[in-house]
Amino acid sequence: ETGVTQSPTHLIKTRGQQVTLRCSSQSGHNTVSWYQQALGQGPQFIFQYYREEENGRGNFPPRFSGLQFPNYSSELNVNALELDDSALYLCASNRDAETQYFGPGTRLLVL
């Protein structure tokens, strides 16, 4: 068990809609990162939050945004969904300075 949970497990949306994905990690895991994994590819870094502040961002447009809350939960919001946003979205938290452990992921399908 990684101590990281995500909801929902699956989601279907239509193009142009907005979606919010949620992640919860254990107490003390101050850093949370979000990744997008398209089918057949490795995960791509979206952004990271440390103590509720964005702490790094990958090559994703501003319609991808996030929040981290004091209770170690986090959200990924995606506006104006596009077909290419269909992917597995992974949340990872740090137990220590180096290692990231992933939650089970949310599979998003955009029609």
Partner 1 sequence: QKEVEQNSGPLSVPEGAIASLNCTYSDRGSQSFFWYRQYSGKSPELIMFIYSNGDKEDGRFTAQLNKASQYVSLLIRDSQPSDSATYLCAVKRNAGNMLTFGGGTRLMVKP
Spatial CA neighbour of 91 closest among 100, 82, 79: 100
Name the DSSP letter for residue 103. Answer: -
25 lies in the site for partner 1, by CB under 8 A: no
CB 25 within 8 A of CB 88: no
Judged by CB under 8 A, the stretch of 13-21, 63-71, 72-80, 97-105 that binds partner 1 is: 97-105
44 lies in the site for partner 1, by CB under 8 A: yes
**Chosen residue from 41, 52, 61, 111 binding partner 1 by CB under 8 A:** 41
56 lies in the site for partner 1, by CB under 8 A: yes
Spatial CA neighbour of 47 closest among 63, 38, 30, 59: 59
3-state secondary structure of 85: helix
Residues that bind partner 1 (CB under 8 A): 2, 31, 33, 35, 40-45, 48, 50, 55-56, 58, 88, 90, 92, 94, 98-105
